[in-house]
Amino acid sequence: YFFLQSKDFIPALKDSPFSLSTRLGKFKLGFGEETWTDNLVEGIVPSNSAARATVVDEGLEFAGKVKLDKIGLEPLGVVVSVSDGNSGVGSDSTASKAFMGKLYHNPIKPLYVSGSYYNSGELDSSSSEMSLAGVTSAIQSGMAWRRSVWELDARYDFGKGKKPLEPMVFSDSKAIVRLSYGEFKDDGNRTRSGNLGFVDGIYNLNKKFYAAGRYSFIDMNGDVTATLNSVTANRYDRFSLGGGYRWNDNVILKLGYDWNKNSGPGVNDADDNLLSALVATQF
């Protein structure tokens, strides 16, 4: 990543109900919620969800909050970005640009909800910067196309502790549960569409030990297949169980096991289950 950031883009808004920050350059777009913890250090288990919707691109982002304290509510968060859309650092076509919009809110203190929408714009025959289960290319080589994705996320905190809720693996809350669901559509001479989602959670046995689990999937409509997480399939499911030991506030020992199942017309379930053990450190 390489970007410039301004926390108070419009100084006149400092004393108003609105706040606004900007980013310009190459950065991770805030689509969904898993994107902030889809790594070995901050994830509750060593693996990611089956779909892992993520996008890193060059562009301009505006993010801010609208204060709602006068009506007794928490602030409403807003994120809007415009980016290249097609893959390749510094490369861009003359086609329309990608758009991402996101709203997030705490309707009640234990509950956080967000909604995200992404549209790649016309990609011509290029790959998309938005990755779904590792799929970034069109259904057919050389085809002009575009990708659109929406996702709804919710997180509920049981017994909030003193530490932040994100990343969940470092939180001292008693337990946290997340739910995510979305749909995608790849449009061109041929269409590919489907849905994706996950439910996961973490339970702190005590200050040192925690247990975690996740079920996730990505499912394509019809008989279409694609290379989902390096395996040809129409549907990919992942069941993940794991746990960890917090050595200190910055070091965690993690253990996890993934049961991966793929299916589809003429597809044999690949034997790609995975056992993971690692030491994760943040600085």
Domains and CATH numbers, the chain: 2-125+140-281 (2.40.160.10)
Q: Which two tokens stand for residue 102?
A: 């996101």
At 269 the pLDDT is 84
**Segment 126-139, tens digit of pLDDT:** 899 999 999 999 98
Range with the poorest average pLDDT among 25-34, 92-101, 247-256? 92-101
DSSP code of 132? B
Query: d(Cα 153, Cα 238) in Å, to the nearest integer?
Result: 18
Query: d(Cα 23, Cα 44) in Å, to the nearest integer?
Result: 28
At 91 the pLDDT is 56
* % pLDDT > 90, the chain: 72
At 95 the pLDDT is 66
Rounded to 5 degrees, φ, ψ at 52 are: 40, 70
**Segment 76-92, tens digit of pLDDT:** 999 999 999 887 655 56
Q: How confident is the model at residue 4 (pLDDT cuts 50, 70, 90)?
A: confident
Query: d(Cα 265, Cα 9) in Å, to the nearest integer?
Result: 52
Q: How far from chain centre, in Å, is Cα 78?
A: 16
Rounded to 5 degrees, φ, ψ at 170 are: -100, 0
Query: d(Cα 133, Cα 136) in Å, to the nearest integer?
Result: 9
This prediction has a pTM of 0.92
Mean pLDDT for 138-164 is 92
